[in-house]
Amino acid sequence: MPTLHRLASFLPAALLAIAAACDSDSTGPGGDAPAGGIVVLNGFGQPGVTLLADTGTASTRIDFGDDFDGAVFNVANDTAVATSSSFGGDKLFVADLGAGTVETLQLPGGSNPAGAAFVSGEARFAVALRNTGQIALVRRTGTGTAALTLLDDAGLCPTDVVEFGGSLYSADANAACAAGTFASQGPARLIRVSRTGAEGDTIDLPGATGSSATVVVLGSFAYVAVSGEADFSGTPTFVASGTVTKVDLVTGQVAGSVRLPEGTYGAAMRAGADGKLYLAAYTATDFQSRGIFVVTPSSLAMAGGAAGIPLRRTGGALANCGAATADAAGNVYCVEDDESGNSTLLVFDASGDQVRAVPAGTGGVDVALR
């Protein structure tokens, strides 16, 4: 279980896939997808990724080194990408899941990178830079080297980025990230960031406040999950729960929103292969209990009561999942850490009953399917 100090750095990060052995920037999604598999991001203890087969218990691990402190990642085919914060050296980690290797690319010092995305064009990655309010376009120029293009006006605290229709969109938490307090300064925003220096568009997300925001695109809609607010000045209290806001990227209008149950905090989000959105949130102020909440994008209906959806371990105990996703059949894959930080991948059928449990390294903070 991470400390609160560690939690402050666990804002959207992105595990970006490692380039091929050549010096051209050919990294990114494309070509035939590799055989299916499960990828767990290990954010502390033994940082890196753990690769698990669809069945059985065999696993392999790619070590990112002790400096890595990311909390979320992106996976496309055989590539995974994530960042480390300023505490971890402001780096982009690019992992080749097939070769079992990792490469680090340096981002601007003190920029405090967060979420990253695969994008089209010569630069294959885009990274949100919290402390400088920028998006970095990253073009690999050689082994361990990259050329950066910095795009301004991405918000007060951009924590994630996505591409749609050739445009980049920054998920701006609108929080005091550069000041180090991460206090909300008003509603979060989705900002279209120009690659050419032209003025972008800002879409306010009413009622969505917090220190971190993540964004996914399904069809022509963006879904922005914002963490909510907590007060850490004394005994921690949850001030406002997280939200998911739906934005029509064609019209630029907010199409609706849904709030996580009162008494929760956090809204780390991943799109499942079943077309639903899976969010992890803390359900108690001691930060020991977590739940998974599921949103149907078309209606914004949310499944899961105050403790999230019931995911029943063998023997009847409810799982304490820190991150989750699903396959096309609706089977839920979640990662759970015990008090010592040892991680377990848990798989549940669509009814919520455990199918299997597999060791998944230490410090499991995110999970994806490929």
Query: What are the structural domain ranges in the chain?
Result: 269-370
User: What's the gap between Cα 34 and its chain centre?
Assistant: 22
Note the pLDDT of residue 151.
96
Percent of the chain beyond pLDDT 90?
84
pTM of the model: 0.90
Worst-scoring range by mean pLDDT, 55-59, 177-181, 365-369? 55-59
Please identify which residue in the block is written with the tokens 């994806």.
368
Class of residue 329 by CB neighbours under 10 A (exposed 0-12, middle 13-18, buried 19+): exposed
Give the model confidence (pLDDT) of 9-38 as tens digits: 333 333 222 222 233 333 333 333 333 489
Look at residue 37 and give its three-state secondary structure. Answer: coil
Q: How far apart are CA 171 and CA 154, in angstroms?
A: 8
Overall average pLDDT of the 177-183 stretch: 94
Q: How far apart are CA 165 and CA 196, in angstroms?
A: 15
Note the pLDDT of residue 197.
73
Within a 13 Å sphere around the CA of 195, how many CA atoms are in the beta-carbon half? 16
Among residues 364, 325, 270, 370, the alpha carbon closest in space to that of 40 is found at 364
Give the model confidence (pLDDT) of 271-297 as tens digits: 999 999 999 999 999 999 999 999 999
Angle at 93 between CA 273 and CA 31, to 5 degrees: 50
Please identify which residue in the block is written with the tokens 């301004």.
152
Percent of the chain beyond pLDDT 70?
90
Q: How far apart are CA 144 and CA 159, in angstroms?
A: 24
Among residues 148, 154, 150, the alpha carbon closest in space to that of 169 is found at 154
Q: How far apart are CA 21 and CA 79, in angstroms?
A: 13
Is residue 157 scored above 50 in pLDDT?
yes
Is residue 3 scored above 70 in pLDDT?
no
Note the pLDDT of residue 236.
94
Tell me the CA distances in angstroms from 116 to 129, 153, 311, one per residue in order.
Answer: 9, 17, 30
Give the model confidence (pLDDT) of 316-369 as tens digits: 999 999 999 999 999 999 999 999 999 999 999 999 999 999 999 999 999 999
Q: How far apart are CA 264 and CA 286, in angstroms?
A: 11
Give the model confidence (pLDDT) of 61-111 as tens digits: 999 999 999 999 999 989 999 999 999 999 999 999 999 999 999 999 999
Note the pLDDT of residue 15.
26
Q: How far apart are CA 370 and CA 358, in angstroms?
A: 17
